[in-house]
Each structure stands twice: as structure tokens, then as C-alpha cells.
Chain A
Amino acid sequence: EAAVTQSPRNKVAVTGGKVTLSCNQTNNHNNMYWYRQDTGHGLRLIHYSYGAGSTEKGDIPDGYKASRPSQENFSLILELATPSQTSVYFCASGEKISNERLFFGHGTKLSVL
């Protein structure tokens, strides 16, 4: 089973502060994703990546940046955190471009005060 590890599991940040969420996958998947989960919305795509060095905007990228320095690592960066970014964030990885199954991390619960 593919392993996707997120850190930290919980984070409390102050408004205007910088937050970095990290994700590591060990199964050599090309594609990685960052989602946020809010009640009533399911999961919404923030950024994704096709491989090392690539980042693409998803459906709700505003206020977020992403970095993919290697095949294994994909970070989500909030340069100036706001209370509206309080949410649960999930990282996922997948093998194929089309019709792929995703493997998810356990999530990071972020609270911005």
C-alpha cells in the first residue's frame, strides 16, 4: 500500500504568519495533490504537481503556493495565513494521469487565529 505522510498533524498559526505544510510519499508516484476539506464542500483541489519541479493551480489556489523539490516531497505554503484558511488539508499521490486512484495522507488540521 502506498504511503503518504503529512506533517504536522495539527497546526495553530496566527493571522499574517507563514505556514508550511509538508507531504512525503514513498511509492515514486508522479502526481501529487493538495486538497482542503470543509464541511459541506467535500475536498477541493488547491495545487497539484506532475513531477519534481512542477506545480499547477487547482480550483482554489488563491492564498496558497506549492513547491515540489523532489519526486517524494510536495509542500503547501501559506505566505500570509488568514482565518478563512482554517481547514483540514490532505495531501495525495497517484500513479497515472487518467482515471487514477489516489492515496491520501492522514490530514493536517490547521487553525488560523
Chain B
Amino acid sequence: AQSVTQPDARVTVSEGASLQLRCKYSSSGTPYLFWYVQYPRQGLQLLLKYYSGDPVVQGVNGFEAEFSKSNSSFHLRKASVHWSDSAVYFCVLSGLSGSFNKLTFGAGTRLAVCP
């Protein structure tokens, strides 16, 4: 069975500071990983995705994530956060379950950016 763990339910950072949101996954097959963001009163939007190749993937709005097979991790980073980055961030693992592409969501990390 596949699983995703986001160990931090809530993270608070100051505007302009750097950010890392942690994600650990467990998968028996090749992991396909995503980070989605949910702004207040909105649906989830894709930030970035990793399928293969360069372990550091770039996303929208200056976000990037680094895949580590040895650590089973896919941490999200940003060099300098803005107040508008306040949102809930979900790490998502994709894997085949029979013929169906099963997505497993982490519980989410709520990011609060303080002025």
C-alpha cells in the first residue's frame, strides 16, 4: 500500500524567509509525485510534478521540490516567501492500483506567512 506523510500540520514563517515543507512517501512501484496548493475557499491547484529525471523540479511562483529515492522524500522549497503564499499545501503520490491510477494525498501543511 502506498502512503504519504506530511509531518508538519502547520508552518509559520516570516515574509521574505526561506521555506521547506516536508513530505515522505512510501510506494512499492515507481513514485510519481505532485505538490498541490489550496488557497482559501478554492480547489486544489498543481504546483509541480515529478515523474523522472532531474530530482529537482521547478514549479510555479518560485517553488521547487527535490526528490530523494534514498530518503523516500519529496520536500517543497521556496527561497523567499510572500504573504500570498499562505495556503494549504498537499503532497500527492500517484501509483497504479490495478488499472486505475490511484492518488494518495498527504494530510496537508497549512502555511502562514507573517508580515
Contacts and interface: CB of A to CB of B under 8 A. Distances in A.
A42 B106 contact: yes
Interface in B32-79: 32, 34, 41-46, 49, 51
Interface string A92-109: 101011111110111100
A93 to B, nearest CB: 11
Contact of B101 (A40, A98, A106): A98
Interface string A32-50: 0000000011111100100
Given A48-B100, A99-B94, A42 B108 contact: yes
B94 A106 contact: no
Given A42-B106, A98-B96, A99-B51, A107 B43 contact: yes
Nearest to B104: A42
A100 B45 contact: no
B112 interface: no
Nearest to B95: A99
B105 A105 contact: no
B44 A97 contact: no
A90 interface: yes
**Interface bracket on B:** 20 to 34
Interface residues of A, number: 24
Contact of A102 (B42, B100, B103): B103
A4 interface: yes
Contacts of A48: 100
19 contacts: A4-B43, A31-B101, A41-B107, A42-B90, A42-B105, A45-B102, A56-B100, A92-B44, A96-B101, A98-B94, A98-B101, A99-B32, A101-B46, A102-B44, A102-B46, A102-B103, A106-B41, A106-B42, A107-B43
Given A42-B106, A44-B105, 17 more contacts: A4-B43, A31-B101, A42-B107, A42-B108, A43-B44, A45-B102, A48-B100, A94-B101, A97-B100, A98-B94, A98-B101, A100-B94, A102-B46, A102-B103, A104-B43, A104-B44, A106-B42
